[in-house]
Amino acid sequence: MSTIEEHPLKAEDISIGLRVLKKRQTKVSLLSFSTAALFILSVVGLFVQQDFVYSFVGLTQTVEQLHLPYTVDQAITEYANQPDYFINLLAWFGWLIVKVFSAFFGAFIIIALLKKFRFFYVRFQSFVLKFVAWLIAVILIWSGLTYVQYDLRSDDAENQYALVHYDQNINQSEIAQALEETDANPTVKAYVLAQIALLHKPLDKDVATSNVAQLVQAERTQKNFIEYGFKPEQLWVMQHQVYGKSVTPMAQAIESKVHKADQFSNIIQILLLAISAVFLVITLLLGLLASRLKGRTRRIQQQIQSG
């Protein structure tokens, strides 16, 4: 007679304890994956936090969207309805959070559902096959959400592309042709064309330099320059992309704002580094604990089977 048969109560207690141990292992594993996801997000945050800080105060490190001053002709005002860069950045990061958590935990849910079928239940006894299936589920969920994300913003992207795209000459762009038709002020035209050249992929440095130089000259010689309604932050970005520094008073006036943004960005960077380190340590500790619980569970199961 086996030990389990001699002590049925003890065997039942062992079975209950084993179920509790498995639940604990599952909880620890899920918590480990959660902290791993938070670690990934904090690392991504390290790379994009400066863009967030800059855009929050109305700045960008490069020209990211077209700004049309109020002095352009009314016929062109329809082009002024461009998506806000800060809102786009928030939306992008929001989608990243959704994709990370949906892919990680959605894959576990898919594996759990598939295990209800005997065909998959037998094959998922192998950790390698289960991991491969989980990875495939992650990729499929991530790809599906990415498709939805870009499908929702495809119209805005196409409008932006059509607005600034040209093959050989900047005058081929839709907005440049509209400026020609309305006989725009040369300085206003230079302001808009400089942005188009900097938005163009690849960047049209020669055209951008020519138009930014015209703007610099206009600011130095035209007393009514401020009345054009140009955005100082946009002038700062254009001058830094072309010259690597601010060369006119309107752009130089933004330097104090940039300095404060850089200070705030440095503080956030330090905080994110600390948070990333904490999440990494917690993830490793939880992963180690989950591994030990799994090993303990396997040993108990083997003891029960050996009787």
What distance in Å separates the CA atoms of residue 122 and residue 193, rounded to the nearest whole number?
A: 64
Q: Render pLDDT for 151-172 as a digit per residue (tens, 0 to 9).
A: 766 556 666 667 777 888 888 8
Q: State the residue for tokens 């958590």.
A: 101
What distance in Å separates the CA atoms of residue 304 and residue 307, rounded to the nearest whole number?
A: 5
Name the token pair of 234: 């946009």
Name the token pair of 14: 């062992």
What distance in Å separates the CA atoms of residue 168 and residue 281, rounded to the nearest whole number?
A: 53
Q: Where are the domains of the chain?
A: 1-59+258-307
What distance in Å separates the CA atoms of residue 91 and residue 52, rounded to the nearest whole number?
A: 11
Q: Which of 32, 82, 107, 77 is nearest to 292 (CA)?
A: 32
Higher pLDDT, 76 or 49: 49
Helix (H, G, I), strand (E, B) or coil at 94: helix
What distance in Å separates the CA atoms of residue 304 and residue 285, rounded to the nearest whole number?
A: 29
User: Does position 243 have pLDDT exceeding 80, yes or no?
Assistant: yes
Q: Give CA 214 to chain center in angstroms.
A: 36
State percent of the chain over pLDDT 90.
30
Q: Render pLDDT for 268-299 as a digit per residue (tens, 0 to 9).
A: 999 999 999 999 999 999 989 988 888 888 88
Q: Report pTM.
A: 0.71
